Structure 1
Amino acid sequence: MVELIITEKPNAAQKIAEALADGKAIKESINKVPYYSITHGNQDIIVGCAVGHLFGLAEKKKAGMNYPVFDIEWKPNSSIKKDDFSNKYLTTLQKLAKKADSFTVACDFDVEGEVIGMNIIRFVCKQKDANRMKFSTLTKEELIESYENKSKHLEWGQGLAGETRHFLDYYYGINMSRALTAAIKSTGRFKLMSTGRVQGPALKIIVEKEKDIKAFVPVPFWQIELEGVVKKGEINALHKEDKFWEKDKALLVMKNVEGKKEGVVSSIEKNEFTQLPPVPFDLTSLQVECYRVHKIPPKATLSIAQDLYVNGYISYPRTSSQQLPPSIGIKKIITALQKQEAYAPLCKTLLAKPTLTPHNGKKTDPAHPAIYPTGITPKLEKKEEKVYDLIVRRFLATFGENAKRETVTMTIDVNGELFIAKGQRTTFKGWHELYGPYANMKEEELPPAEQGDKVTIKKISMHDKETKPPARYTPASIIKELEKRGLGTKATRAQIVDTLFQRGYVHGTSIEATNLGINVVDTLEKHVPKILDEALTRHFEEEMEEIREKTKKQDEVLGEAKEVITDILKGFKKEEGDIGAELAQAHIDTQNELSTIGKCYKCNDGDLQIRRGKFGGFIACSKYPDCDVTISLPSGLIKPAGKECKECSFPMVTVIRKGKRPQEVCVNKECPSKKIEGSAGAEALKVASGDIEKPCPKCTEGKLVLRKSIYGQFYGCSRFPKCRHTERIENNQAFVKKAKKK
């Protein structure tokens, strides 16, 4: 009797094989796909692997760009995408399945893992059911326990809920995207458009924020600030009114304190409060915190966390739980972490406590606990180290003592006008010690004054200010907002936001909706608002949860979705021409917006825009052919830098090339920063005038001539493009300045 254990990734297969093997796991391969033969007790086991999803959804019969499409099925990825590397994993599992008498799924225990395993069991192994291992870490102890206590059935509720999500996302994605693309195509243009069940509402949230910002009208206000000295300590205080909305009132205060050299401390209030330890990380809070402290985008955080999990360093990251149950072996983990030098003193402090009780949060997950380190000493790259350190310190901090903070409010009387100075400090660090640099508490201590002390006034100033518009979403805060609104899942939100960037609907680190993004939302709101309906999206999320809990049938939910989508598309078809015209214009406006680098220096009327031609990128004036300015661009991704050159005031661009740091460059080839000086400069002038001839060292037929690019001057072969030899002139000023900075 042979048992086939199916894992989600090759690394997981190795971990599971090594954990379960009584002796040594024998590594074998078929077509370079690894699998392992082991014995556990009296059971012969083969551990095979997938590489994520081996099957994807596709139309049973291709319908071109026609819609609606509902006749879909699971197909091997290799039949959907050419050159898909997953096919060799599928065929390997097919061969291994023929050797097996029983089957166990050991994919990640979540919705996606269940779908991956369920499809392999149904379509590769040709089985109706299988055993199921459930684990949160890839440690030997947990894997053995998971195997020996495996369920006799797949988690069908979870699997069918996941499959339903795939079907719904495909229904929405393929149909709505085809409808949008067809609408633009009807105008004679082509632009691949997309929207989806969650993507549409997510874009609407960002666009609504953008509209709030654009509609914002700043309101002026005035603040009066006192700068002084008390007990030899500097102090800054604002008038108790804080913001004066009427200038006359502020001027009256200024008149009342004019010429005053002293004030008096009329009162001091101190308040101490307790600061509870942070709760353990779920995926969203990890992504938000990683962005706050390391500026690592949510998608990258998830990828790094997944790698840490697969290598056995942390627990499963795709969790909604903020709770650490005793069953994970808390003391054992902290004892293991103590072996790592960076955490040894922190762990020693915790292990001295009589009990170890985490400050758990409210959120739970039926499949996994909160994210925690396993205690295994890792070998990490720099970015991985940052995420791992944050996870470890957060884990330790949840067991820390409450911190104590104190706020101090000092009131200063100047001729009857009251000014307030505020300070805050930590009086007992508690869990701050464990969280280390990530605690980052503001410490603003006031001088040790007492009531009645004199304050020497250095100056009292009135500041003109105005209210600020609401802040744009960051990659982290939009993830948090989507979670708050119940849109998407912990595992998909980062990808949804990433898609908005790829489609050109949003841009920037501080996420700004483009004209295209705004117009997509406006157009859909006007003609087919249901596509953007948050409530509808949440409704289907709730129904999928009911499928998971086995209180609703999959067919019911999919049937309802087909009706909703068909109804939406009927309305869309009627308005297709208008929708297409509006979106096509929005696309043009967005292209112009994102490609404009500044005003044309020649005609002062047009805009300099980045364009693509037969021979690559170049910059041209929007008033062409009336203005014939063109500037060739180097290879790579070129973006407007949004700034002017300090040397010549010409616009600058950012050049992004694979494997290199982005570089900001002035587009002016004659910029003083690109001047060649010294002996190399003198030689270059002679080469340019023909007084010196330098043969091309590559082709030997041409000679080197002086050429110019946005990077500066250089030597190139006169036989270009037949010979593409170039030489850098080392003391080009731009190069020299860069070298000096290093």
Structure 2
Amino acid sequence: MAYELIISEKPQASKRIAEALADTKAKKETENKVPHYILTHDGKEIVVACAVGHLFGLAEVKEAKKKKGWTYPVFDVEWKPINEIQKSAAFSKKYLDTIKKLAKNANSVTVATDFDVEGEVIGLNCVRFICKKKDANRMKFSTLTKEDLVESYENKLKHLEWGQARAGETRHILDWFWGINLSRALTLAVNKARGGFKLLTSGRVQGPALKLIVDKEKEIKDFVPEPYWELTLKGEKDKKEIDAMHSNGRFKDENEVKKIFSKIKDCKTATVNKIEQRQIKEAPPVPFDLTTLQTQSARYFNIGPKATLNIAQSLYTNGYISYPRTSSQKLPAKLGYKKILNNLSKNPKYANLVDGILSLPQLKPNEGEKTDDAHPSIFPTGVLPKKLNDTEAKIYDLIVKRFLSVFAPAAVREMIKVLLDVEGELFQAEGSRTVEENWYKFYAPYIRRTEVELPKMKEKDKVNVKDISKLDKQTTPPKRYTEAGLVRAMEKENIGTKATRAQIVETLFTRGYIKGKPLEATELGIKTVAALLKHAPDILDVEMTRHFETEMDDIRHGKKKEEEVIDEARETLVKILSKFKKHENEIGKVLGEAEAESYKVMNTLGSCPVCKKGNLMIKKSRFGKFVGCTSYPNCTATFGLPKTGIITVTENVCPECGHPIVEHRTGKTRPRLTCINPKCITWTAEYKEEQRQADQTEKFDSGLKEATKKKVAKKKLKPVKKAVKKKKGKK
């Protein structure tokens, strides 16, 4: 039986495609526990199979690897099944084998992976390496709703999107060139200098991203605070308080401010000199692109960029929102605003809000400037979620409220400025109030506005002066990047892609180049940047990284050829590595010392609460990471750690038992703070339930951050009597 084979990017997507296209009900079959679906659409036989992300990756050509060994530079690469490259990807082989088997009897192939450069590469590799074909049909969709999928299938492209495919393949090759060669260079330099083996990494985007953080660290370190002074006034009229500041703002001359303060400090009355009142219109927000969604999620929920993307991807895969990896701030009319709104109104939570939008004279969104060739902005599809966990519900609500608010009229604010005269010195009081909420009420509670009510006044009115103060202040250093702030900075510099920036941040954490929240460069990160700036600055050059991003965009739009960009990248990298090799020993010595010191700092949790003599350190065994005491064998205190994710040392101790707190990051959810003591009361179901019922999860995290060894009493909960008895074992 001949049939059309449709290949999706992931199992859940294949299920939704099959359900959408089936005339009756799609038949699910499994091959080695990998699902595929058999169906008919308008009488035509179709089989829907799935990949599981990338089934192929780049690797060094086997013959070249044997000949050269583990050295650099290396540019001989080939596509290979990813299970042959990474042990952790062994599971992908059964998906590859299933597609291969199904492709044998297929008379045509249609690619239905995500419509972006990564999805195109996944589809291209399946077509040429598994199906042994040169081209295929291509479905293009931005949501996994039945309507969108049927329309996409019936209007499918007759060819792959070759611009995307070539740009995506070029990106993979360039990232491999940079990643492998720079990582080998750094690793060999360090290991020659100190012996042993320690893997250090860098990459085409990773290096410039790290430099952004280190540059910020340098700004903070070099910052010299400057003194300044302010004069403030507290007044009262009609029993309402007035706060005002001298109209000069900041004074830089202390003698000047002292002279003025001496003149007016005892004054009890001010005269209204002038009143300025105006109304302003505040436009509604623009639709979400990925970076803005990540920024807002971090701001309101403290959910990091990678976790936000993972949650959004899950919402998309289930058909609740549109494709999240988009740069667009546009909402094309063809999406069918009214239909989406009518469906959203079936959720009681949004019914009244939707009615408010539908009552408007016209549905016209306030669009932003950013565009995306492949997808519109992020929006809810109107498919109502059946069940969401807490974080999914938060992100979904944020997306729905954003979607509603972009259609609403501008908010109207009234701004009042009052000048108060005190012995010839003018003080300025500012008031603000919302006259018309409009889009505010649709986006609530995700808005921050200040309402300052001033008493009614007119010129020449008298105001009672209750206090005039002279404030001594200093300028403050720049703030460190948050994760979302770094992603935003990378977007501004045009380094990385919307889909990869969050992962770059995660990699910098994993490799020990950065730590903490907000992001702080470690000694290893600082010295790595310093050494590379001195001997191989091009590795960190944002301009060069931006240049190749532009080149790949040109490939996508047919302005450049893949081979041209790859050749240019190879030549550039040869020059960079040549400079590096000349200073390999010096670089290795500096980085080796920094890595050793950084390792010690990043793995020490503090003094041992059991023996009171040694320090608790994160160590490794064949079973994984654990915490042990440096006084072993005299102290056998050990504590287990999660087997997956990234464990980061914090400076905090548990308020319940006094043991250290670690941060656990999985990338799927926001980082969690955890006490290492498994007998601590914070591990009990009773404690967690009490926290949940009181909606105190965020407060608990905050409490742990600020915790001291001082006991925090908890109602109806018994404190831990003693530390856990530790098992003896080899370190």
TM-score range, shorter chain: 0.7 to 0.9
Partners of 1:633 and 1:657 lie apart in 2 by: 18
2:675 aligned with 1:663, yes or no?
A: yes
Partner of 1:145: 151
2:405 aligned with 1:400, yes or no?
A: no
Letter in 1 for 2:37: Y
Measured against aligned partners, the alpha-carbon deviations of 1:184-216 in whole angstroms (never above 9, x if no partner) come to: 001125321111001111111111111000000
1:636 and 1:657 in contact (8 A); partners too: no
Letter in 2 for 1:663: C
What secondary structure does 1:408 align onto? Answer: strand
2:96 aligned with 1:90, yes or no?
A: yes
TM-score between both structures, scaled by the size of structure 2: 0.87
The alignment of Structure 1 onto Structure 2 pairs a total of residues equal to 674
Partner of 2:722: 713
The within-5 A match list for 1:265-304 is 265-304=272-311
The within-5 A match list for 1:18-417 is 18-61=19-62, 62=65, 63-82=68-87, 84-187=90-193, 188-379=195-386, 380-417=388-425
**Gap change, CA 1:540 and 1:674, over 3 Å in 2:** closer
Residue 634 of structure 1: how far off its partner (Å): 2.6
Q: Pick the structure with greater CA Rg.
A: 1
**Gap change, CA 1:673 and 1:267, over 3 Å in 2:** closer
**Gap change, CA 1:2 and 1:542, over 3 Å in 2:** same
1:121 and 1:129 in contact (8 A); partners too: yes
What secondary structure does 1:447 align onto? Answer: coil
Residue 494 of structure 1: how far off its partner (Å): 0.6
What secondary structure does 2:6 align onto? Answer: strand
Measured against aligned partners, the alpha-carbon deviations of 1:134-154 in whole angstroms (never above 9, x if no partner) come to: 011111111111111111100
1:228 and 1:235 in contact (8 A); partners too: yes
Letter in 1 for 2:269: E
Partners of 1:342 and 1:67 lie apart in 2 by: 59
Partners of 1:554 and 1:542 lie apart in 2 by: 13
Partners of 2:472 and 2:424 lie apart in 1 by: 23
Measured against aligned partners, the alpha-carbon deviations of 1:198-250 in whole angstroms (never above 9, x if no partner) come to: 11111111111110000000111111211121121012111112211122212
**Gap change, CA 1:630 and 1:524, over 3 Å in 2:** farther
Aligned residues with identical type, % of pairs = 51
What secondary structure does 1:438 align onto? Answer: coil
Partners of 2:429 and 2:109 lie apart in 1 by: 69
Residue 375 of structure 1: how far off its partner (Å): 0.4
**Gap change, CA 1:631 and 1:654, over 3 Å in 2:** farther
Partner of 1:707: none
Partner of 2:669: none
Residue 616 of structure 1: how far off its partner (Å): 5.2
Residue 293 of structure 1: how far off its partner (Å): 1.3
Partners of 2:293 and 2:655 lie apart in 1 by: 40
1:314 and 1:372 in contact (8 A); partners too: yes
Letter in 2 for 1:396: L
Partners of 1:126 and 1:611 lie apart in 2 by: 49
Partners of 1:398 and 1:166 lie apart in 2 by: 37
**Gap change, CA 1:579 and 1:47, over 3 Å in 2:** same
The within-5 A match list for 1:562-581 is 562-581=570-589
2:640 and 2:676 in contact (8 A); partners too: no
2:616 and 2:627 in contact (8 A); partners too: no
1:642 and 1:652 in contact (8 A); partners too: no
Q: Which of 592-601 and 115-124 deviates more?
A: 592-601
**Gap change, CA 1:40 and 1:511, over 3 Å in 2:** same
1:231 and 1:449 in contact (8 A); partners too: no
Partners of 2:711 and 2:413 lie apart in 1 by: 55
2:490 and 2:496 in contact (8 A); partners too: yes
**Gap change, CA 1:436 and 1:203, over 3 Å in 2:** same
Partners of 2:168 and 2:565 lie apart in 1 by: 12
Partners of 1:401 and 1:573 lie apart in 2 by: 61
2:214 and 2:521 in contact (8 A); partners too: yes
2:624 aligned with 1:617, yes or no?
A: no
**Gap change, CA 1:71 and 1:257, over 3 Å in 2:** same
Measured against aligned partners, the alpha-carbon deviations of 1:516-568 in whole angstroms (never above 9, x if no partner) come to: 11111110010011111111111111111111112221111111111111111
1:636 and 1:656 in contact (8 A); partners too: no
1:640 and 1:652 in contact (8 A); partners too: no
Partner of 1:691: none
What secondary structure does 1:113 align onto? Answer: helix
Pick aligned residue for 1:642 from 640, 644, 651: 651
1:135 and 1:143 in contact (8 A); partners too: yes
Residue 641 of structure 1: how far off its partner (Å): 4.2
Partners of 1:144 and 1:672 lie apart in 2 by: 61
Partners of 1:658 and 1:644 lie apart in 2 by: 18
What secondary structure does 1:440 align onto? Answer: coil
Letter in 2 for 1:28: E
TM-score between both structures, scaled by the size of structure 1: 0.86
What secondary structure does 2:143 align onto? Answer: coil
Residue 80 of structure 1: how far off its partner (Å): 1.2
Letter in 2 for 1:53: H
Residue 645 of structure 1: how far off its partner (Å): 9.2
**Gap change, CA 1:711 and 1:618, over 3 Å in 2:** farther
**Gap change, CA 1:673 and 1:274, over 3 Å in 2:** closer
Partner of 1:687: none
Letter in 1 for 2:84: S
Residue 635 of structure 1: how far off its partner (Å): 2.5
**Gap change, CA 1:218 and 1:396, over 3 Å in 2:** same
Partner of 1:5: 6
Letter in 1 for 2:412: K
Residue 392 of structure 1: how far off its partner (Å): 0.7
Partners of 1:195 and 1:453 lie apart in 2 by: 66
Residue 82 of structure 1: how far off its partner (Å): 2.5
Structure 1: runs of 5 or more not aligned: 666-670, 676-680, 682-709, 723-742
2:366 and 2:406 in contact (8 A); partners too: yes
Q: Which of 305-314 and 560-569 deviates more?
A: 560-569
**Gap change, CA 1:657 and 1:185, over 3 Å in 2:** closer
**Gap change, CA 1:92 and 1:599, over 3 Å in 2:** closer
Partners of 2:728 and 2:265 lie apart in 1 by: 75
Residue 617 of structure 1: how far off its partner (Å): 3.0
2:653 and 2:709 in contact (8 A); partners too: no
Partners of 1:76 and 1:29 lie apart in 2 by: 21
1:38 and 1:46 in contact (8 A); partners too: yes
2:103 and 2:131 in contact (8 A); partners too: yes
Residue 619 of structure 1: how far off its partner (Å): 4.8
2:654 and 2:675 in contact (8 A); partners too: no
Partners of 2:663 and 2:292 lie apart in 1 by: 31
**Gap change, CA 1:193 and 1:343, over 3 Å in 2:** same
Partner of 2:699: none
What secondary structure does 2:87 align onto? Answer: coil
Letter in 1 for 2:54: H
The within-5 A match list for 1:498-577 is 498-577=506-585
1:157 and 1:550 in contact (8 A); partners too: yes
Partner of 2:688: none
**Gap change, CA 1:609 and 1:212, over 3 Å in 2:** farther
Residue 642 of structure 1: how far off its partner (Å): 2.9
**Gap change, CA 1:641 and 1:177, over 3 Å in 2:** closer
Structure 2: runs of 5 or more not aligned: 667-671, 678-707, 713-717
Residue 618 of structure 1: how far off its partner (Å): 3.7
